[in-house]
């Protein structure tokens, strides 16, 4: 009898990412699951969150009563500000991104490949027709020191999203170093996927069967702390 399997919710994925952010980092959070991360960090981590729209130093999602429609994150969700926060305009916001100030950007994705490439702006494989939703992902991926991806491990139909090679148009040809999914934490290192953590009840073999590229199992493989 194996332990009951438990997939991570969006919130647990965000919390898992939050735990891995290192002390003092400057962190950019993209739209979707990533914007939940700022609600799961500890003050001792001393993190600074930046957003595409020029907000530097925001805290968690705002609760009713403290919402200000003019203070929002990349997903246009109301957030609160830490003392010492600053706000710059959009060109300066991306100036700091391109200069390489962010230690990490956390983004959503449809696919990630072993070479660190990822796809998150277009779901069509048809010839490019100028349609898609890039937002700031290409600017961020080009220069943040690391790109971490938060996404479901497979598509709704059960096809793998972690692949040898992206099948969708890429957002960047390299840069991903970590993927956190509903079943695993996987490092992307030297062109390989390394399974570092698994969701409760999921074996390395099961996670491999849900993954479209070989998984190397870390010697320190452990269960994701929930």
Partner 1 sequence: MRQPIVCATMAEAVADVPDDITLLVPGFGPGMPFNLLTALFEQGAKGLTTVSNGVGGAPATDGRKGVGDFVAAGRVKKVIAAFTAPTHPSQGSVVVDMVRAGTLEAELVPQGTLAERVRAGGAGIPAFYTPASVGTLLAEGKEHREFDGETYVMERAIFAEYAFVRAWKADTAGNLVFRMAARNFNPVFAMGAEHVIVEVEQPIVPAGEIPPDQVHTPGIYIERLVQIPPDGYFTSGRMPATSAAPERGSR
Active site residues: 52
Distance CA 93, CA 27 (A): 13
Is 171 an interacting residue with respect to partner 1 (CB under 8 A)? yes
d(CA 18, CA 12): 10
Stretch that binds partner 1, among 21-29, 134-142, 199-207, 215-223 (CB under 8 A): 134-142
* 2 vs 158 by CB, closer to partner 1: 158
Q: Rule CB under 8 A: choose which of 170, 178, 179, 195 binds partner 1.
A: 170
Residues from 53 through 92 that contact partner 1 (CB under 8 A):
53-55, 64-65, 67-72, 76, 78, 87-91
Nearer to partner 1, 154 or 208 (CB): 154
Each residue 86-125 as x (binds partner 1 by CB under 8 A) or -, in order, gives: -xxxxx-xxx-xx-----------------------xxx-
Q: Is the dihedral of CA 224, 109, 206, 116 positive or negative?
A: negative
Alpha-carbon span 1 to 78, nearest angstrom: 45
Residues 177 to 196 in contact with partner 1, rule: CB under 8 A: none
Total binding residues for partner 1 by CB under 8 A?
50
Residues 6 or more apart in contact with residue 156 via CB below 8 angstroms: none
Exposure string for 165-184, b = 16+ CB within 10 A, e = fewer: ebebbbbbebbbebbbbbbb
Minimum gap (Å) between residue 107 Cβ and partner 1? 12
Span 30-49, contacts to partner 1 by CB under 8 A: 31
- For residue 134 the two structure tokens come to 């890039």
The span from the CA of 109 to the CA of 113, in Å, is 11
Closest CA to 18 of 52, 43, 50, 55: 43
Instruction: Considering the complex, state which of residue 43 and residue 65 has its C-beta at the smaller distance from partner 1.
Output: 65
Considering the complex, what minimum distance in angstroms separates the CB of residue 49 from partner 1? 13
| Distant-in-sequence, close-in-space partners of 54: CB < 8 Å, separation ≥ 6 | 87, 88, 89, 90, 92, 93
Kindly report the CA angle at 48 between 45 and 51, in degrees rounded to 5?
A: 140
Using CB under 8 A as the binding rule, whether residue 1 contacts partner 1 is answered as no
Does residue 137 interact with partner 1 by CB under 8 A? yes
- Sole residue written with tokens 């509903």: 182
Part in contact with partner 1 (CB under 8 A); list of ranges 34-42, 139-147, 191-199, 203-211: 139-147
Which residues neighbour 2 within 8 Å (Cβ) at sequence distance 6 or greater?
201, 203
Query: Can you give the binding site for partner 1, defined by CB under 8 A?
Result: 31, 51-55, 64-65, 67-72, 76, 78, 87-91, 93-95, 97-98, 122-124, 128-140, 142-143, 169-174
């Amino acid at each position: 009898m194996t332990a009951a399997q438990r997939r991570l919710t969006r919130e647990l994925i965000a919390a898992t990412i939050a735990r891995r952010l290192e002390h003092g980092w400057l962190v950019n959070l993209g739209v979707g699951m990533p914007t939940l991360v700022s609600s799961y960090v500890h003050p001792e981590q001393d993190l600074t969150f930046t957003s595409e729209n020029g907000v530097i130093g925001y805290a968690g999602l705002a609760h009713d009563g403290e919402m200000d429609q003019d203070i929002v994150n990349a997903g246009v969700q109301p957030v609160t500000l830490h003392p010492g926060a600053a706000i710059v305009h959009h060109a300066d916001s991306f100036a700091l991104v391109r200069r390489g100030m962010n230690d990490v950007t956390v983004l959503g994705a449809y696919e990630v490949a072993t070479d660190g490439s990822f796809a998150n702006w277009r779901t069509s494989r048809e010839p490019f027709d100028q349609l898609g939703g890039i937002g700031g992902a290409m600017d961020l991926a080009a220069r943040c020191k690391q790109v971490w991806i938060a996404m479901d491990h497979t598509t709704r139909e059960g096809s793998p999203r972690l692949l040898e090679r992206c099948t969708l148009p890429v957002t960047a040809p390299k840069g991903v170093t970590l993927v956190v999914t509903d079943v695993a934490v996987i490092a992307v290192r030297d062109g390989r996927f390394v399974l570092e953590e698994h969701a409760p009840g999921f074996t390395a073999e099961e996670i491999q069967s849900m993954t479209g590229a070989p998984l190397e199992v870390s010697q320190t493989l452990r269960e994701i702390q929930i």
